[in-house]
Amino acid sequence: MTAVQADPVVSTPYGSVRGRYENGVAVFRGIPYAAPPFGPLRFRPPVPPEPWDGVREAVAFGPTPPKPPYSEAFAQYLSDPVVPGDDCLNLNVWTPEPGPAARLPVMVWLHGGALTRGSSGVPVYDGRPFARDGVVLVSVNYRLGVEGYGYFPDAPANPGLRDQLAALNWVHASIAAFGGDPDRVTLFGQSAGAISIGALLAAPQAHGLVRRAILQSGPPEAAERDKVRRMVRRMATRLKIPATAAAFAEVDPELLLRTQAEVGRLSSPVVGGPAFGIVVDGDLVPRDPPAALTEGDAAAGVELMLGWTRDEYRLWLVPGGLLERVDRLGAVALAGAMARCRVGADVPRGYRALHPKAGTAEIVGQMVTDHLLRLPLHRLADARPGSSYVYEFAWPSTLPDLGACHALELGFVFDTGEAPESRKLAGEGAPQELADEMHRAWVRFAADGDPGWQAWDDTHPVRIFGDGGTHTAHGPRDAELALWAAAQPREPAVTTDLADGVPARGTEMRSVVRRLRLPGAVRRH
């Protein structure tokens, strides 16, 4: 007779938790790393959770932070489960071997969602394949939207980023009991999660908590304070309240979410606009993250892996038929992209010359992708040669028009391609061998800092996943990115219409701004 494996119990600084074994992996879900951020703690930095007596059950995902749903156009591709409850600052752990003797590499996952959506409970982020391959996987919930990234005169900035720092401190203090090595922590995230990692790497308070980092489709950046202020002020105007944290804390969370969703429709990755984001606050984020990481000694010694998907922009433009609209708008759409990227006509002319068969939507999409993602990630790798590794994901979804779009690589990285939620974006027939290669590279990087290809140097090696077989190309984006170095940057417009950088003149330009709005206000996934 086979013995029944007892449920795993592990002690944390705040009390013991009981998980369960699932296919040979010990799983703990919904462990609180901070107190519920409501009542007097709303819009405030996180504080430790109340300790508990006895053993706390940790078998179900914990509550998710308040967030609006995706619009129908995006929900057909992206899953975002909701778990009600206030105790939303929680995390999950998958481990092959609980106990302090194991000393396994640790990976901490920060999800994307434009800092307004997403959670650790998305099935694509199942940590079992990482644990199967000898990694302790931790995934984190953190505050979103105005609750996590509103900018107020009477409250500290960046509470959502402070949540992530609190989770990292929890990992440093607790992960050894789950079998992890606190000195081998790899922080990885996609889109808004990657942007968050850039800020954390630049934060002195996070020094020593991270050994390695993987930034997927998100560069280090800080939002302009005025953009975030405008989001808050527009919400305050609709709610007829002062634009202060004290006033917002009195508003019902559901009403706040509805108002946030209404105001958020004015944002788009193509033409910009007010949006929530991490801001330089003089405390947790003392200076602009890209400057801190490329010009200073922030995160010295931290090894990096950086990358993007070949067709990031298609997740921004395909839902709702915006791809076809951009092609129809032609020169007007190009003018909008030039204003968004603050460059003259020489840049799109250069893209046309390099890609003579490309349509307007592809030119606009690749320009904005290069401006937002590839150019700053190139600069980061250039500043850290020898300890940076760069990749591009190029396998196209089997669904119409998506190509190798934003977020498509996630099911391959996590090796969760069989999950229905992965197939929503990838379609049917995603190659398992590609998932094996990508997942193995992420595991190798977490284990010893070498994902299996050449480190960044002046030949610009980029590992290409999924374009005629995995291989290394040298400088595959150099020609496009060189156009930006040669371009004369334009000053941002002083007076703006609905989108930042789009001059408030001319019905044609105002029309393109309206037409390029993205359903569901997904600035970035």
**How far is residue 502's CA from residue 389's CA, in Å, rounded to a whole number?**
35
Catalytic residue at 371?
Answer: no
CA 252 to chain centre: 27
Return the exposure string of 19-39: e unless at least 16 CB atoms fall within 10 Å of the residue's CB, then b.
Answer: bbeeeebbbbbbbbbbbbbee
Query: CA-to-CA distance for 518 and 268, rounded, in angstroms?
Result: 6
> Residue 9: CB partners within 8 Å, gap ≥ 6?
16, 17, 18, 19, 55
HSE-up of 288 (CA within 13 Å, CB side)?
A: 10
Alpha-carbon span 246 to 391, nearest angstrom: 44
What's the alpha-carbon Rg for the chain, to the nearest Å?
A: 22
Which residue out of 406, 439, 460, 525 is catalytically annotated? Answer: 406
User: Cα 226 to the chain's mean position, in Å?
Assistant: 22
Q: Facing residues of 180 across strands?
A: 104
CA dihedral in degrees (216, 221, 225, 231; nearest 10)? -20
Q: Is 471 a catalytic residue?
A: no
Residues 463, 389 contacting (CB under 8 angstroms) = yes
Residue 191: active-site member: yes
- Nearest in space to 58 (alpha carbons), one of 8, 102, 107, 106: 8
Q: Are 395 and 410 in contact (CB under 8 A)?
A: no
Under 8 Å CB-to-CB from 44, ≥6 apart: which residues? 37, 155, 156, 159
Catalytic residue among 79, 119, 191, 422, which?
A: 191
Cα separation, 480 vs 168, in Å, equals 37
CB 221 within 8 A of CB 115: no
* Of 139, 172, 268, 312, catalytic: 312
Catalytic residues: 191, 312, 406
